[in-house]
Amino acid sequence: MSSFSHALSRIALCALVPFCTACVLFFIEYRTQCAARFIGQYLMRQNPEREPRGALWQGILASRQTRMALYDSLAETPLEPRQAPLPVLQNHYQLQYHGTHAAFFAVAQRDTALQFDHLDPETLRELAYSLQIYEHGRYLLTQAIVPDDASYLRALIGTQIALEDGSLFHQLHKRLLAKDEPEAWTFLKMKEEDIAYWRQHLAPLLSADLNRAQSDAGPIITAALAQVVQARADSLRQSETKRLLAAWDSADGFELRLTRTGDQFAAYALVPGHEATALVLPAQPVQQRLGLAQ
């Protein structure tokens, strides 16, 4: 029993020495912080020689360089507040970079519209920044392409409605008459039985892909109908672009998000209270305006 107690005493004595040593070192560090100062000085000496590596660092570095280039360009751009567009006086326009292949625009309404006679230097700088971001976003929206799929489907539905109410026959008459086609007169002053006949033959062409649908309408009338649908789709895309430009000027909370996908940029325009609009932008105008990596 005495030998066991003696062994425990030796173990406790052996453990006590490093424990006391650790306590002394901890007390010295607490009082002097010599280890922390040594590590800090070492890092300060070594950091300038360290090579930045990794995708995360490269993304941060590219984002920082782009922001600095933007601020430098602002410093060289004189701004006359009275020449600033009204939307810039009423809204903040902001741009954030996410790595080297993505950017995010946002519009936020100012608490109060800016007054020309009460603009301090910091406000003027912010106004110049908002103005440049406003011009970038507006330019990109004018270059954006609304994909055909959604617009074409809406155009088909609109043409189906026109077929039901009879207005499609007038559109076909005008389009065929412009090409001096004799079939144009088929759709002028139609009888009820003629209307029923052509509704039956044109309806299949509006239910699916015009190139695959089966109908006895004939190639000339089928081509004219395809042009009517395409013209309606083009008009819908133009209307959508105008709506987004109007929102860019006035919609509080408007967002435009761009992400590089291959040789183009996929974008989504989000207007509060509306469904998101998918857009496609060629890579070149985005790279030129925003300086994103190729």
Q: Hey, where are the domains in the chain?
A: 2-49, 55-143+251-290, 148-238
Q: In the predicted model, what is the mean pLDDT of residues 36-60?
A: 57
Give the per-residue pLDDT at 75: 44
- Kindly write down the DSSP assignment for every residue of 169-213, as one continuous string: HHHHHHHHHHTT-GGGGGGSS--HHHHHHHHHHHGGGGSS-TTT-
Q: Are the CB atoms for 234 and 240 separated by under 8 Å?
A: no
Report the largest interatomic distance among the alpha carbons of the chain, rounded to a whole angstrom: 125
Go through 206-245 and write b for each residue having 16 or more CB atoms within 10 A of its CB, e for each that does not: beeebeebebebeeebbbbbebbbeebbeebbeebbeebe
Give the per-residue pLDDT at 89: 85
Residue 155: band (very low, low, confident or very high) from pLDDT cuts 50, 70, 90: confident
Q: Which tokens sit at 176?
A: 């065929």
**Mean pLDDT, all residues of the chain:** 77
Give the per-residue pLDDT at 115: 66
pLDDT beyond 80 at 250: yes
Give the per-residue pLDDT at 61: 52
Q: In the predicted model, what is the mean pLDDT of residues 103-124?
A: 78
Q: In the predicted model, what is the mean pLDDT of residues 213-227?
A: 80
State the pTM of this model. Answer: 0.61
Of 141 and 25, the structure prediction assigns the larger pLDDT to 141
